Amino acid sequence: MSLLVKPEGTRGRVHAITPERAGWGYVGFDVWHLAPGEVAEGFEAGREVILVLVEGRAVVEGFGEMGVRMSVWEKTPPACAYRPGDWQVTAVSDCVLAVCSAPGTSARPAQVLGPDGIEMVERGQGTNLRHIHNIAMEDRDVADSLLVTEVFTPAGHWSSYAPHRHDEDDFPRITYLEETYYHRLNPGTGFGVQRVFTEDGTLDETMAVSDGDVVLVPKGHHPCGTPYGVEMYYLNVMAGPRRAWRFEAHPDFAHLM
How does pLDDT run across 201-242, given as a tens digit for each residue?
A: 999 999 999 999 999 999 999 999 999 999 999 999 999 999
174: left (phi over 0), alpha (psi -120 to 50) or beta: beta
Residue 125: helix, strand or coil by DSSP? Answer: coil
In a domain, residue 54? The reply is yes
Pairwise CA distance, residues 238 & 125, whole Å = 24
In a domain, residue 243? The reply is yes
Give the mean pLDDT of 24-53. 96
18 CB-near residues (< 8 Å, 6+ apart): 28
Identify the domain containing residue 30 by its residue range: 4-107+119-256
In a domain, residue 112? The reply is no
In a domain, residue 113? The reply is no
Q: What is the CATH number of the domain that holds 9?
A: 2.60.120.10
Amino acid identity for residue 152 in this structure: F
Q: How many domains does the chain have?
A: 1
% of residues, the chain, pLDDT over 70: 100
Pairwise CA distance, residues 4 & 205, whole Å = 9
In a domain, residue 114? The reply is no
Pairwise CA distance, residues 123 & 170, whole Å = 25
With a cut of 80, say whether residue 1 has pLDDT above it.
no
With a cut of 90, say whether residue 44 has pLDDT above it.
no
**Comparing C-alpha atoms, which of 135, 77, 82 is closest to residue 112?**
82
